[in-house]
């Protein structure tokens, strides 16, 4: 009888261990740097009983839609202003779990070597998503190129420009499309993840770039019903580990900065 009980206990322990080892977490991410950072921590999470599956997206909408619809567990690609704007516009209730890094937003050009060389009437490409549009315009304001009606409007669009002394023309595009028009415009305001993916080096190539004090931290995002789950919390801990901090510093050379 004791042997049977011992066997039963061992079987139960093994079953529990297998269940923990097979705990799957499906997370959406844009390719660079988010998916790369997630790939780094996959082995760490595997040792802790979490099987991380990374779904790579090249847009900013579907990762949120699919987490909200419970097709995915979480995502890692966005800033808090973008998330707030998305929730308000789509009626979703996604929440931040932990801040991981900052990608200083920048402006690039193949036609001029400095902002001072921009001619009157030059075309500037900016993201068409509310928070990213505002981020680009606020940076242009700090550079002295325009003035906004509200200098702190995180979701500003070209309609919110109060003064445009050089009559710059603004071309609004989806963020993922911006690197593709670099040859077609005079100044291209590109999110750093897309800039890196396009082979640009923000630290060297950007004509204007946010400082290290940028408030636009990239967050791990989940739903209210799973944000405190053991697996999500293990992921959050791994994303803010010394290993990740060292990886970011070495691989991105200042183009990506740890926010922890």
Give me the helix-helix angle, 130-142 and 80-90, nearest 10°: 140
pLDDT, one tens digit per residue, over 219-257 is 999 999 999 999 999 999 999 999 999 999 999 988 999
pLDDT, one tens digit per residue, over 119-144 is 999 999 999 988 899 999 999 999 99
pLDDT, one tens digit per residue, over 207-223 is 999 986 788 999 999 99
Task: Give the confidence band of 2 by pLDDT, cuts at 50, 70, 90.
Answer: very low
How far is the C-alpha of 49 from the C-alpha of 168, rounded, in Å? 54
Structure tokens at 46: 């595997």
Range 102-112 average pLDDT: 96
**Count of helix runs (H) and strand runs (E) in the chain:** 9, 13
Task: Give the confidence band of 97 by pLDDT, cuts at 50, 70, 90.
Answer: very high
Secondary structure (3-state) at 225: coil
> Burial code of 185-212, b = ≥16 C-beta within 10 A, e = fewer?
bbbbbbbbbbbbbbebebeebbbbbbee
pLDDT of residue 215: 82
How far is the C-alpha of 182 from the C-alpha of 196, rounded, in Å? 14
Q: Which residues pair with 96 in a beta bridge?
A: 221
How far is the C-alpha of 79 from the C-alpha of 2, rounded, in Å? 57
Look at 12 and 40; give whichever has higher pLDDT.
Answer: 40
Task: Give the confidence band of 17 by pLDDT, cuts at 50, 70, 90.
Answer: very low
In this predicted structure, the answer to whether residue 21 has a pLDDT above a threshold of 50 is no
The Cα-based distances of 56 to 12, 29, 77, 136 in angstroms read 36, 5, 10, 25
pLDDT, one tens digit per residue, over 66-84 is 999 999 999 999 999 999 9
Q: Residue 143: which H helix or E strand, with range?
A: none
Structure tokens at 127: 């993201």
Task: Give the confidence band of 9 by pLDDT, cuts at 50, 70, 90.
Answer: very low
Task: Give the confidence band of 22 by pLDDT, cuts at 50, 70, 90.
Answer: low
């Amino acid at each position: 009888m004791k042997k049977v009980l011992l066997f039963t206990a061992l079987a139960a322990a093994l079953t529990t261990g297998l269940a923990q080892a097979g705990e799957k977490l499906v997370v959406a991410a844009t390719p660079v740097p988010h998916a790369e950072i997630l790939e780094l921590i996959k082995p760490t999470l595997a040792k802790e009983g979490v099987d991380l599956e990374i779904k790579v997206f090249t847009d900013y909408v579907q990762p949120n839609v699919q987490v909200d619809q419970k097709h995915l567990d979480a995502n890692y690609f966005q800033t808090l202003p973008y998330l707030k704007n998305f929730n308000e516009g789509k009626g979703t209730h996604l929440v931040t779990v932990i801040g991981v890094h900052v990608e200083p937003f920048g402006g690039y050009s193949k036609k001029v070597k400095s902002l001072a060389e921009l001619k009157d009437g030059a075309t500037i490409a900016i993201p068409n998503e509310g928070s990213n549009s505002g981020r680009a315009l606020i940076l242009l304001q700090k550079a002295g190129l325009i003035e906004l009606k509200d200098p702190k409007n995180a979701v500003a669009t070209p309609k919110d420009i109060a003064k445009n002394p050089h009559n710059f023309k603004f071309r609004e595009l989806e963020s993922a499309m911006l690197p593709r028009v670099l040859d077609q415009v005079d100044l291209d305001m590109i999110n750093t993840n897309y800039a890196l993916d396009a082979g640009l080096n923000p630290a060297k190539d950007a004509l204007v770039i946010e400082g290290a004090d940028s408030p636009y931290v990239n967050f791990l995002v989940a739903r209210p019903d799973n944000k405190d789950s053991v697996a999500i919390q293990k992921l959050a801990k791994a994303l803010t580990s010394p290993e990740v901090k060292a990886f970011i510093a070495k691989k991105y050379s200042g183009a990506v900065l740890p926010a922890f």
